[in-house]
Every structure is written in C-alpha cells, then in structure tokens.
Amino acid sequence: MRKQCFLLFPLLVSAADLPIREVVLFKHGVGYFSRAGELPAGETAQMAFKASEMNDVLKSLTIIDASGAPVAGVRYDASEPVEQRLADFPFEVAKGASLAAFLDQMKGARLELGPVAGAIVSARLVQAGDATRPTEREVVVLLTDAGDIRSFDLSTVPAVRLSDPKLQAMLRDYLAVVSGARSRDRRNVYIDASKQGARRVTANYMTPSAVWKSSYRLLFGPVGDPTLEGWATVDNTSGDDWTNVNLAVVSGRPTSFITQLYEPRYVDRPTAELAENRPVGPQVFQGALSGLADRGEARAMFAAAPPAAKAAQMMEASSIAPDTVARDLGELFEYRFATPVTVKQGQSAMLPFLQQKLGARKLLIYSESYGLNPMNAAELTNSTGKTLDGGPITVYDASSYAGEALVETLKSGDKRLISYGVDLGTRITTKIDSSAANVREIHMRRGILTTRNAIQETKTYTINNVDAARKTLIIEHPLRQGYALLSEIKPKELTSTAQRFEVAIGGKATETFVVREERVYDQTSSVTNATPDVLVAMTQGRPLSAAGRTQLDRILAKKREIAANQAQVQTAQTALTNLTNDQKRFRDNIGSLRGVAGQEQLVQQYAR
C-alpha cells in the first residue's frame, strides 16, 4: 500500500556485495573462498551463507583492508529462528496488515502527519460509503500537541513518520530481519567499513564444499610413452555464482573438523545469596546430645570458560591446452588455473589440468584369485614432476577403448600398477607340492627336548601364451608369515601382502615358474615323561650330528635302565601285595575256626 511505503523508504539500509574472486577446492570437504570489493565510507558489506556453513566461517574468517586501516566491526545474524527473533520486538508487521493496524500497536508513541503531530490514541479501519458500495478508510486518532483529540484520514496525509528515533531504529532492525529471512537457510555476515574514505576490503574464509574429482585418460600410441590427460570436475554449491574467479584445486587431505561457534553457548551458574538477604523464618531447635560443636562446610563452585577457538588461517590428449600452474604446498599439491573460470550456482564444470607424456610399460599381472587368466595392466611411473591425484583412468590403446582402472594418489617419481582388462590369450594354472617335516636341530635343556623342524613348499605356475606376441608377466605370489623364499630368483617388488615376480613369456609358448619356500618351526616335549620308544619315533629318519646322536643314545640307555628298574619295582610290589592278601585270608580263617568244636588241629596248622 502507498501509505506503508511512507514508513519503509527512509529506513532501508545500504549494503555492498563483495564478489567471489578466488576459490580453492580441497579433497576433505571444505573450500577456501576470497571475496574482495570497494566499500564506500560508512557503508556495510554483506555476505550470505547457509546456516550449516556458519561454524566454519566464524572459525576461519579473516578481513584485510588494503589501506591498512582497521575494519570498524563484523556482525552476523543470530542463529535463532526468524519467528523467535521477531518476537522480541514490541510490534508486529503482519502479512497483509494495514497501516492502521500497525499504528494501533504504537499507542502513546509520537506520530508526525505533515504539519500536525501528537501521541497515537488509536488507529482502525472505518466503514464508509453506502450499502451498495461499501468502502473502508484508515483512520488514526491523535492527542495533538495543542491538546486536541483529532481523527485523521491516513489517505489524505502526505507523509507518516514516527518521531521517536528508538522506534525508528527498532523498525529498521525489524525490517532487516524480515529481509534477511526471505531464504530461511541464509545467514548474513556484515562488515562495517571505516567512515574515513572508501576502502578495498578482502574477506577470506573456509566453508563446507563439494570435493573436486579427478579423472584421467591414458592414451597408448604405436611407439613411445603414452599421453596422460587429467581433468578436474568441480561443483558450485556455494550459493553464489563464480564469475571470472581464480580457481585452484589441491590434492591432499589436511586435518579439518567442526567446532560449534555459531550456536549460542550457555554455562550453568550456581545461585548464591548473602545471608542477610534471605528472609528470616521460625527456627526449631533440637535438644543437645553431646557437648561437641557442629561444624559446617563452605563450598565454592567455579565454571571454567571454554577455551577460545583458534582461528584457522589460509595460505596466500584432447584438443586442450591445460593452462595451470602446479606447485607443492608442503604435504599438499596445488593446480592453479591461470585463466579465470566462470561456473554458475548449481552448475559443474570439467577443467583440464594436465596433458603430458608419462613413463609407462604394458604388461600382464596375475594373482591366483583372478582365476585362469591374468589381467592387462600397465606400470606407471610418474615422470610428470607433479602429484597426480587419485581417481579413475580410462585406457585407450591403438585409438581404441581398452578398459578402465583406478589409481591412488601418485607422488612425483612414484610407481604404480594398474589393471584395466582380462587377457584372454594367456592361461595360468598352479600346482603345490609340500615335503614332510624335517628336523634341523635338537636341543635339550632341563628335561625339555626342543626340535627345530622345516617344511618345504613348492608352487609351480604354468603359463600358456597362445598369442604370437611376447609378453611380460608380473606374478603376485602371497607373502605369508613364517615362510622364507628358497628360490634363486628374487621378487622384483614387495607389497604388504605379496611378492611380485617378473616373468618373460615368448610368443605361442608355455613357460613354468617355480617358487620354493620353507617354513621353520619349533616343537617341544618333556623328556622325563617320554618313553624310549617315543624318543626313537621322534628322531627316527631325521639327520643328527655325531655328538647329537651320542647324547641321544645316552639318554635312551638311561631311559631303558629307568624303565627296567620301574618294571622290577612293579614286580616286587605285586608279590608283596599277593603275600599280604594271603596272610589276611589265613587270619580270617583262623578267626572263624576258633569257635568251632573239633577244629583245634586245623587252627594250629594255619597258625604254623
């Protein structure tokens, strides 16, 4: 309505936007942004963020004035919902409400209607016209400065103004909150410039961002090293257009975390009062039980303030011609695009960052888990002088699609194997032979016999190449704990789980490759509890030195002597037991016959 415009137009606050000038995207979920622009004297710069970004903004924001003058201040929207923030004002500008309805909330406030001024008594809508054509008029009732109570038709006054500057400021703040709440998920950060002349202000900060993705194309030609193309995929989810920004992408994963700085934080405090401030009530005294005085304790409670957050700081193929500047940033590696980039909000872009020759050779790689056929592979040597971020690689061979692979981040000078397809022209089978355990050493100490045993295992790889071309095969043989390699051919490389052997295969040929390994282990037993037969079985058919054989023979002789003595003891013990049983039987017979008449002669016989 026209009358509401009288209230709004003098209250609008000017705000300058700081366009995004630089973007640096990382691999760990954050992005570095730099905004810069001219800020007239006394004006406020405004930057809008998502509510979920505010913690990172408050943790990392730095503001630089090119002239060296200090910035007047930084403010930002509170985290409370807009409804809660508006509830703190003593009035409400409801949707579709009339000017009269708004003024009626200001009873007692001083209002200026052109040359007339006074305190607001009330404001309302008045019905006018006849029954056929009813109309409404907005009317305000004032207690004028002259002391009159007068009614004014608001449609006839040229201007409406609140005289109280505090109310004007509150209305200005109210409208600013409403204006900033058009997007419910947006929060504004305001930078107040110095009032002394225009300033060029730069604001740098980190916010959560979509990680950039890298992908590669590996193109093998008839001869020479292949060409590697690298493409960076970036997504603009910042909420602002990137127009002619300086863009860089960084390989690496620095530590990053979220600290709750945006949400208000409160600390529970104890309630404490002086004794004289407490009301006095009736006292009930108990009778004394002893002469000991009561002793009380006083406790003081302290709430530790949370440590201040430390602000993070930020450091200052195809028909393509990648125009990037690559540089090391400590443990990180940066590709900075020399030409400014434009990516609209909600859009993504593919940008080439690499196209150069790469050290590589084609080969086959085989692990028993692959089954019958090895994989087409390539051994890549990063000879680009740059760090290659991890990502997918599409392989082209002889101008034809050959397959796809994944590669981890590859530092300059490092090597990596990739596999991108199955070689159907080569078949590999395996056979395992194991020997019986062989005793290498025997040790005796304090009645404990320790034998050191060895088991040898031989694995034979049979490789059949049906193609006419010669091939180079990498065999990944499992690296097993406790096994030592006996083969004369040593592995070319070791990984945490495998030994890599390199085998040359002729065209239309069958080759065998043998890997011999040995496992050595100790076995212990107690000699005191072992019989001679057990000791003989433990060492039978196993090579022993002359001294070891002599010691074992002496042990066996002693064990046989002990066994013979134990047998004699057992025989004597049996005879003694039999005699004892016979004597007991005689005593029992004598006792039973003594009370029987005519058995005196038999009793004397048993007694003798």
Q: What pLDDT is recorded for position 601?
A: 75
Is 424 or 535 the better-scoring residue by pLDDT? 424
Q: Residue 305 above 80 pLDDT?
A: no
- The single-letter DSSP state of residue 70 is P
Q: Report DSSP state, residue 74.
A: E
pLDDT band at 337 (very low <50, low <70, confident <90, very high): very high
pLDDT single digits (tens) 345-381 = 999 999 999 999 999 999 999 999 888 999 999 999 9
Question: Which of the residue ranges 118-132, 252-266, 381-395 has the most confident prediction, judged by mean pLDDT?
Answer: 381-395
Identify the pLDDT of residue 488. 85
Token pair for 132: 């056929």
Q: Is the pLDDT of residue 6 over 60?
A: no
pLDDT band at 278 (very low <50, low <70, confident <90, very high): low
Residue 545 pLDDT level (bands cut at 50, 70, 90): low
Contact indicator for 216, 231 with CB cutoff of 8 Å? yes
Alpha-carbon gap, residue 150 to 152, rounded angstroms: 7
User: Phi and psi (nearest 5°) for 31?
Assistant: -135, 150
Residue tagged 């993504």 (tokens): 348
Q: Flag whether pLDDT at 318 surpasses 60.
A: yes
pLDDT higher for 478 or 542?
A: 478
Burial string for 391-426 (b: 16+ CB within 10 Å, else e) reads bebbbbbeeeebbebebebbeeeeebbbbbbbbebb
Dist. CA 336–CA 314, nearest whole Å = 15
Residue 309 has pLDDT above 80, yes or no: no
Alpha carbons 317 and 399: distance in angstroms, whole number = 11
Q: What is the pLDDT of residues 200-259, one digit of tens each?
A: 889 999 999 999 999 999 999 888 899 999 999 999 998 889 999 999 999 887 788 888
What is the pLDDT averaged over residues 296-316? 36
* Per-residue confidence band for 571, with pLDDT thresholds at 50, 70 and 90: very high
Q: According to the model, what pLDDT value does residue 540 have?
A: 62
Length of the chain: 608
Which pLDDT belongs to residue 2? 37
Express each pLDDT in 150-203 by its tens digit.
Answer: 999 888 888 888 888 898 888 888 887 777 666 566 788 888 876 677 778 899
Query: pLDDT tens digit string along 33-82?
Result: 999 988 877 788 888 888 889 999 999 999 988 877 777 778 887 776 66
Query: Is pLDDT at 294 greater than 80 in this prediction?
Result: no
Least confident of 88-102, 153-167, 594-608: 594-608
Q: Is the pLDDT of residue 280 over 80?
A: no
Instruction: Give me the pLDDT at residue 182, please.
Output: 61
Residue 595 has pLDDT above 90, yes or no: no
pLDDT in tens, 419-432: 999 999 999 999 99
